Structure 1
Amino acid sequence: MSKTTIANTTETLAKIKETINQKNVELLHLQFVDIEGILKHVTVTVEQLEDVVEGKMMFDGSSIKGFSPINKSDLYLQPDLTTFAVLPWTEEPGYSEARFLCSVTNPDGTLFEGDTRNVLKKTVERVADKGYTISVGPELEFFLFKNDDNGYATQELGDKAGYFEPQPHDLGERVRLEIYRALKAMGFTIEASHHEVAEGQHEINFKYADALTAADLSTTYKWVVKTVAKKFGYHATFMPKPVFGINGSGMHVNMSFFKGNENAFFDPSDELQLSKQAYHFIAGVLENVKNFVAVTNPLVNSYKRLVPGYEAPVYLAWSASNRSALIRIPAKKGLATRVELRCPDPSSNPYLTFSVIASAGLDGIEKELEAPAPVNEDIFHMTEEERAFRGIENLPGSLEEAVKELEAGEIGAKTLGEHVYNEYVAMKKAEWDSYRIAISSWEIENYHSKF
């Protein structure tokens, strides 16, 4: 560890201790995610801060999905001091609680390869070896459903408002306001908040960040949204398609590579103001997206949103403005130049999602892949024959197909590492098999009385 790093760590820890004293923090939640991106935590008293900072807090990895076998179950939590935050909903006179997001380590102090946060760290390092840093701006949509008297989610949507509608139609506006306040208190920079297209659907946008920070923010965002919504009697879900017949929820991922303070995707002399690195990045994502969509869209339900023939981001094409293409280049340029991938959904593990997108884009840069011509026509309203003539392919149509593509390609194993890759594929195959043999309400409704 360099002298600068030690000095920064010492300064950060001193600020944390000052905040702990000012806010009367008594409990510390040490948070991490499992292979699916589901948040976990263990709670300790503030008196154990020194042991926490030194990474001495042990837990049973065999009880966490996708982690360790029972004979190698001892794992440790190493907090990222930059993620320290007091939880605003716990604050009361003389008392509060705080959290750290942690990386998981082995008993010898090395990074545990089954921790998806560590997967993203390695991807960031691989990109850094080529001279780049990764900037990510995710946009996570969610639905609010009413809870019953026992606090459990119902199928009743929280409101019947539409896109950008205010109160009195948008009954979730007050919930979003409290979510905004909580996120701001925890260090987020919020850029926008609004009702989305579907009834009961919402979005709150936060400022882009480096890849690891953006994944940490996404994880925190989902937790805060659910926590605050419950206080208002709502269940917030990031399920991609919770209601048939209306829009599903996406997680558009805006990504760019930087060299120092310069955006490597920007070239003012190009017609679209895109650099050759940007074109190669686009080509790399299009080349690999079929092989990583099982990561960015990880559920059986994800493919109820990604359906060809509807207005869904399933067509393998790119455009500078066309929202019917899988990849879009937003209008803002200069430092804001970025590539927007529109297929990911918010049920995905952000650490893995950002890893595979960055890795695919870097492949395109390393191999100098040529991007196809942009498609500026409305792909949604093309016939199947027109799309075939233009060579516009679809994403896989089911989780089963997506997992087969993941196994057929190289990007998954290369990016995720042996441990996470093997655990992930096995988990998704089991998930598909469970779905495949289940009897659905549709089958009962259509067959039970008829046959």
Structure 2
Amino acid sequence: MSVNRVLELMKEKAIEFVDFRFVDLSGRAHHISLPATEVEAETFVNGVAFDGSSIPGFRGIEESDMVMMPDTNSCYVDPFTSHATLIIMCNIHTPDGERYDRDPRSIAEKAEQFLQTAGVGTAAYFAPESEFFIFDDVRYETSMNSSSFFVDSEEAAWNTNRKEEGGNLGFKIPTKGGYVPVAPVDTQQDLRSEICRLLQDAGLRVERHHHEVATAGQGEINFRFDTLRKTADNLLTYKYIVHNTARQFGKVATFMPKPLFGDNGSGMHVHQSIFDGDTPLFYEKGGYANLSEMALHYIGGILHHAPALLAITNPSTNSFKRLVPGYEAPVNLVFSKGNRSAAIRIPVAAVTPKGCRIEFRTPDSTANPYLAFAAMLMAGLDGIKRKLDPRALGYGPFDKNIYELSDAEKHEIRSVPGTMEEALAALEADHEFLLDGGVFSKDFINNYINFKRGEAKSVAIRIHPQEYSLYFDC
């Protein structure tokens, strides 16, 4: 979309404010709003200034001036503001006009450029399945003398005996019993449908929505695949609309991977493929699951680098509460067709040549999508470059229910790191593949590791209520 077209759109929609947004290391959006009367063609040339030192993991106070440069292809009208507001995503530049190398959006674009300069294909396509919970109440506290959290949902299994005004109407969802029931068990049909309507208004192509496996309001909405950076933009739009629609309904949404103990967590399964123009490069009729050798090498790259990748695709301490056996969590570093117990699943139902793809099931939505998609692409491209054959490396194919294997059989299967610190150590030891083509920089990797280690330490040094259960009477 040209600058002139954006200015015309502002007039057509009677826009009162323009909301300029950028994304930080953790994947959270930040914004500055300008009155529409202050937005001119020059705004898109000069950008919008902001203080980079106030964003964790960005700049020191002595070099804080930074500039948001609007991307005119990322516009949509905010459905939640009382005053008509146009949202525009931005790239981050330094005052001298250089792209900021810690800007996640910049890294995503460099990964797309590297794919082309490497001569592998013209575009990589991504489609995340970002699961979430919608609760009716959330409370939490961590202080010197207290640590607790509490969530509640009208659907929750623990509320079958709750006394409610007007009576308890039953139809609660059992633990692990929430996969696609109809109403009145599924109480959130209208809420998810409203989310879908708003996503479509914002330009996303919604494919379907449904209740997910866990009790207490777990849901999933799938939107159409797109190129790497565009899909990352779409995921930020998706999370913004999910969060704010839930709030309009008097509820609260979270993409936290494991908000409940004893039930399934929320993942972000990422479907991905590479095309050369209109030609799908992951398809080869007659191959395993109709995969090409390129696709297998791509899989080899992701599984080989998976311990390091998880520091970016599962970048929270809570991520590793989800990645435990027994909760449909993809902890096993193998690939398989149609097998949800493998880290990489090859979809085989109703798949066309252009729909031939791989699905990396381990990531979750605490990931910054620009960084996560870029890192996965770089790992896959490294596998293609080095011709890493996952079959020769012992990664499958593994067409069994891995959860039901004996301990001896499981011992032969490589697993994901068990903690965030283990994943960060793996990234520290294995990140050269991310540096190819200058996509990620050494400075970015070091800064990112230190930033995330700070988060891990803040959790590790705090006292957990379970420690009182175990040790108070010692």
Question: What is residue 318 of structure 1 aligned with on the other side?
Answer: 335
Please say if 1:89 is aligned against 2:80.
Answer: yes
The answer to whether the 8 A contact 2:138-2:152 is kept is no
Q: SS of the counterpart of 1:99? A: strand
The alignment partner of 1:144 has SS state of strand
Asked if residue 145 in structure 1 is aligned to residue 145 in structure 2, the reply is no
Which of these residues, 107, 126, 131, is aligned with residue 114 of structure 2? 126
Q: Which moved more, 1:356-365 or 1:368-377?
A: 368-377
1:47 aligns with 2:37: yes
Which residue pairs with 2:163 in the alignment?
none
Shift of the alpha carbon at 1:228? 1.1
Q: Is the 8 A contact 2:44 2:69 kept in 1?
A: yes
Structure 2 equivalent of residue 408 of structure 1: 429
Instruction: Choose the corresponding residue for 1:287, options 283, 293, 304.
Output: 304
Q: Which residue of 2 aligns with 1:444?
A: 468
Aligned equivalents of 1:104 and 1:30: distance in 2?
11
Counterpart for residue 174 of structure 1:
190
Closer, same or farther: CA 27–310 of 1 in aligned 2, 3 Å = closer
Residue 85 of structure 2 aligns to a residue in which SS? strand
Q: Does 1:70 align with 2:67?
A: no
Query: Superposition pairs for residues 193-204 of structure 1, below 5 Å?
Result: 193-199=209-215, 200-204=217-221
Distance in 1 separating the partners of 2:76 and 2:191: 21
Identify the structure with the greater helix proportion.
1
Count of matched residue positions in the alignment of Structure 1 and Structure 2: 432
When residues 357 and 148 of structure 1 are mapped into structure 2, their CA distance, relative to the original with a 3 A threshold, is closer
Question: Which residue matches 1:157?
Answer: 153
Match of 1:213 among 230, 244, 257: 230
Task: Give the Cα–Cα distance (whole angstroms) in 2 for the partners of residues 445 and 55 of structure 1.
Answer: 58
Give the alignment's TM-score, normalised by structure 1: 0.92
Partner of 2:125: 135
Decide whether the 8 Å contact of 1:36 with 1:349 is kept in 2. Answer: yes
Deviation string, structure 1 residues 346-376 (Cα, Å, up to 9, x no partner): 1110011101110000001111111214000
Q: Structure 2, unaligned stretches of length 5 or more?
A: 140-148, 157-172
- Partner Cα distance (2:193, 2:73) in 1: 25
Deviates more, 1:136-145 or 1:369-378: 369-378
- C-alpha distance in 1, partners of 2:456/2:329? 22
Go from structure 1 to structure 2 and tell me whether the alpha carbon gap of 1:148 and 1:260 turns closer, same or farther (over 3 Å shift). closer
The amino acid across from 1:387 in the alignment is K
Letter in 2 for 1:38: R
Give the CA deviation at 1:174: 1.9
Displacement after TM superposition at 1:171 (Å): 1.9
Q: CA deviation at 1:271?
A: 4.5
Q: Secondary structure at the match of 2:74?
A: strand
Following superposition, the deviation at residue 98 of structure 1 comes to 1.1
2:364 paired with 1:345: yes
Question: CA distance change for structure 1 residues 411 and 192 in 2, over 3 Å: closer, same or farther?
Answer: farther
Amino acid at match of 1:177: S
Whether the 8 Å CA contact 2:76–2:86 is kept in 1: the answer is yes
Task: Map Cα deviations across residues 209-266 of structure 1 (whole Å, 9 max, x no partner).
Answer: 0000000001111111111111111110010000000100000000001111111101
Moved more, 170-179 or 393-402: 170-179
Tell me how far apart the structure 2 counterparts of residues 446 and 290 of structure 1 sit (CA, whole Å). Answer: 31
* 2:206 aligned partner: 190
d(CA) in 1 for partners of 2:361, 2:35? 42
Q: Which residue of 1 aligns with 2:379?
A: 360
Tell me if structure 2 keeps the 8 A contact 1:147–1:233.
no
- Of 257-266 and 412-421, deviating more is 412-421
8 A Cα contact 2:344 2:360, kept in partner: yes
Contact (CA 8 Å) 2:269, 2:359: kept in 1 or not?
yes
- Aligned CA RMSD, in angstroms, stands at 1.7
Q: Distance in 2 between matches of 1:127 and 1:275?
A: 18
- 3-state SS of the aligned residue for 1:102? strand
Distance 1:403 1:158, change over 3 A: farther
